Amino acid sequence: MEIDKDLVAAYATPLVLAILSEGESYGYAIIKRVGELSGGELQWTDGMLYPLLHRLERSGLVEASWRASESGRKRKYYRLTAAGREQLERQRRQWQVVTRTMKGIWCLAADPTDQLAQLTPAGEK
């Protein structure tokens, strides 16, 4: 499924911050984790991820360091900063409001009679 660019832009930062809250990681592993979490529905590319990581690094939400991987290749590992954890918590609360709101309207749109029945006090029909 192709996700609209505006929606990708909205969810990309909190998703990467949430992935990094699990522990430090490098680009390819982050891309794989996005795929795993979405059941393969979201397919990110290097061109989507690295500009975001660089922006998060410039804004102080993540820190990066170059290290050798288990295979000996040098990789740039990213980890959350304290500011990144605070930002993740703010965005988590915001997404909870958005998610609740969208679920409410989608449930109403899916079956307006069922929602109306739930809103009508017992005994009134």
Residue 96 has pLDDT above 90, yes or no: yes
pLDDT in tens, 69-94: 888 899 999 999 999 999 999 999 99
**In this structure, what token pair is assigned to residue 109?**
């749109």
Residue 35 has pLDDT above 80, yes or no: yes
Q: What is the pLDDT of residue 125?
A: 46
pLDDT in tens, 105-123: 998 888 766 555 555 555 5
Q: What is the pLDDT of residue 2?
A: 84
Q: Please, are residues 8 and 48 in contact by the beta-carbon 8 Å criterion? A: yes
Report the alpha-carbon distance of residue 44 to residue 11 in Å, rounded.
12
- ∠ CA 11-17-22, nearest 5°, is 125
Q: Is the pTM of this model over 0.95?
A: no
pLDDT in tens, 53-69: 999 999 999 999 999 98
Q: What is the pLDDT of residue 40?
A: 94
DSSP designation for 60: T
Q: Give the domain 5-92 fold.
A: Arc Repressor Mutant, subunit A (1.10.10)
